[in-house]
Structure 1
Amino acid sequence: MTDIQISKLDKTSTQDNGADKILAQLAQIESKLFVHDAWSAAQINSLLAQPFNHIIYATDELNQRLIGYCIYSHIFEDAEILKIATCLDYQQQGIASQLLTAMAQMCQATGAERVLLEVREDNYAALAFYQKHGFEQIAVRKNYYNNHDMTKTHALIMQRKFNAKLNAK
């Protein structure tokens, strides 16, 4: 398993030059993983202009390469995962799980009662990942995603509630 370091990038940290490098690396991963709907560095940076949007990212401690990230919102009692991704050559090593756990702990510590997300109904790997982490389907957005063959795919809305015992910490 790869030793990683998890760091946070938010509105205050985007004022330094290091943040530009991180945003460029995030956009590069996006373009490789989400070919047809990748977010650019400018789009990601504009998300961070809102105080409720955040990014945590993982770097490989050995070579300091950015290898994964989670972009999320946290407003009052709800957190929402907007994107979570790991570089192709680092997948299946528990990095996304560590990012998800870190994000959930940060949000829960600041009052979140649940985490929401949406996922394509045909993204079986993502569905299995989220279910493994305690997410349950709560709704369907019919024909939400446009496919490249002009068909549509439903989005599943999932949530993971935090139990009261964890919220009390």
Structure 2
Amino acid sequence: MLVGLHDIDRDRAIAAFAALERELFGKGAWSENAIRQELDAPARTYVFDVDEPDGSIRGYAGFWYDGDDAELMTIGVSKDHQRQGIAAAMLDRLLHDAELQGARRMLLEVRVDNAPAIALYRRFGFSIMGRRKRYYQPEGIDAYTMSADIRPHVMGFQTTQTTQTRGNDQDIHDNEGAAQ
């Protein structure tokens, strides 16, 4: 079950977030203090995947919205619960929330060696924009920068709209027929 940050005990969410960070990212994990600062920063939206029977937090994801672009800040799912659709559900929710807030596109960075994450992002319409050398520290791993349009960026007027499927059958509109 996906819940927003304001629908969950904050200290429990932070502790689970920090534990998952250590499990998933080792030396590159965000500290508990960094997580608190991130969650307290303005214009952040975070969701958590909570296992209904026992209430454990299996995943987290969040973005920052600056008034035009949304930036995926982080997404993580416990190793025991990966490949079960949790990351896809969280990403879909974040894209929906970003669209409701007015974002036109979402940006992100991903390790170049993280094939499962890259495949997930491509499934949701993200494409590679560029590469950031030695972005992930302390390992010095490069990152791809990726972006996906959330809402059409219309230049001129729009004559028709078509519907396409986002990652898991949520409707979004593209700008087919828009003047370029």
Deviations along 1:125-146, one digit per CA (max 9) or x if unpaired, are: 2111111121100121123234
1:134, 1:160 within 8 Å by CA — same for their partners in 2? Answer: yes
Task: Determine which structure has more spread, i.e. the larger CA radius of gyration.
Answer: 2
Deviations along 1:20-64, one digit per CA (max 9) or x if unpaired, are: 111001101111111111112221111122211231111011211
Output the TM-score relative to the length of structure 1.
0.84
Task: Give secondary structure in 2 for the equivalent of 1:134.
Answer: coil
Residue matched to 2:73: 82
1:111, 1:167 within 8 Å by CA — same for their partners in 2? Answer: no
Tell me the distance in 1 between the aligned counterparts of 2:97 and 2:19: 26
Residue matched to 2:31: 40
1:117, 1:157 within 8 Å by CA — same for their partners in 2? Answer: yes
1:106 matches 2:82: no
Tell me the distance in 2 between the aligned counterparts of 1:38 and 1:147: 10
Residue matched to 1:157: 145
RMSD: 2.1
- Unmatched segments (≥5 aa) in structure 2: 153-160, 162-171, 175-180
- Unmatched segments (≥5 aa) in structure 1: none
Aligned to 2:47, which of 46, 56, 59? Answer: 56
Tell me the distance in 2 between the aligned counterparts of 1:77 and 1:119: 21
Tell me the distance in 1 between the aligned counterparts of 2:21 and 2:134: 23
Map 1:1-169 → 2, pairs under 5 A: 5-9=1-5, 13=6, 18-146=9-137, 148=139, 152-164=140-152, 166=172
How many corresponding residue pairs?
Answer: 156
Output the TM-score relative to the length of structure 2.
0.79
Instruction: Kindly report structure 1 stretches of 4+ aligned residues shifted beyond 2 Å.
Output: 142-148, 163-168
Q: CA deviation at 1:120?
A: 1.3
Tell me the distance in 2 between the aligned counterparts of 1:147 and 1:38: 10
Tell me the distance in 1 between the aligned counterparts of 2:110 and 2:47: 20
